[in-house]
Homo-oligomer: A and B are copies of this chain.
Amino acid sequence: MTTQRLSVDDWIGAALDIMATDGIGGVKIQRLCDELGVTKGSFYWHFKDLDAFLDAIAERWRDGEGRFRSRLDDAVRSDPKRGLSNTVSAFLDRRLGRLERAMRDWSRTDDRARAAIKSADKRTFDALVSGFEGLGFDRGESDVRAKILFYAGVGFGDVGPIGDRSEPARQLETLVDLLTR
């Protein structure tokens, strides 16, 4: 097809795709081989074992998430209110949301995933705090509001939209408005 030979990133990318749909439980060596049109001999050439592979997955998610959050940091610094909206609207992105969800589920039973999630959460939360501070709120008020916004974002990613006529984007604006007044 595209590339005849595979690279390490190809394997990790395939794993992340699976995680976004079926969670970490769907990541099996044999399944990866099938989807990549290859056998296990290939896998064990690129990676020592499954554990090392999972290390690489968590690490790559951490890096990718790091770059993503740093972009949000810049957005918050330049325009706090718009930056806040953008940060939270990231929770609404389906594909991104599903991957993050899979990571959170995985983090319940795996320390690597927990560490990755924790560092990403810290970045996001700090960005939210400085966003509120940029709007004039003092340290304490910013802290509380950032927590609410952050928890609500995670909760939304967990539960999904509530009700029939719910329009997530609009509700989000209402939430941000309510917290920035």
Q: Which residues of A contact B (CB under 8 A)?
A: 22-23, 25, 101-102, 104-105, 108-109, 121, 125, 143-144, 147-148, 150-156, 158-159, 162-163, 171, 174-175, 178
Question: Shortest CB–CB separation between residue A118 and chain B, in angstroms?
Answer: 9
A-B contact list, 10 entries, CB within 8 Å: A22-B109, A23-B109, A25-B109, A121-B159, A143-B163, A144-B174, A150-B159, A150-B162, A154-B154, A155-B156
- CB-CB under 8 A from A153, the residues of chain B are 151, 155
Q: How many copies does the complex hold?
A: 2
In Å, the complex CA distance between A178 and B102 comes to: 32
Prevailing SS type, chain A contact patch? helix
The closest CB in chain B to the CB of A145 belongs to B178
Decide yes or no: A159 and B152 within 8 Å by CB, A109-B22, A147-B171 being known contacts.
no
The closest CB in chain B to the CB of A106 belongs to B105
Residue from B158, B162, B163, B175 in contact with A104 in the complex, judged by beta carbons closer than 8 Å = B158
Whether the pair B144, A151 counts as a contact (CB closer than 8 A) is no
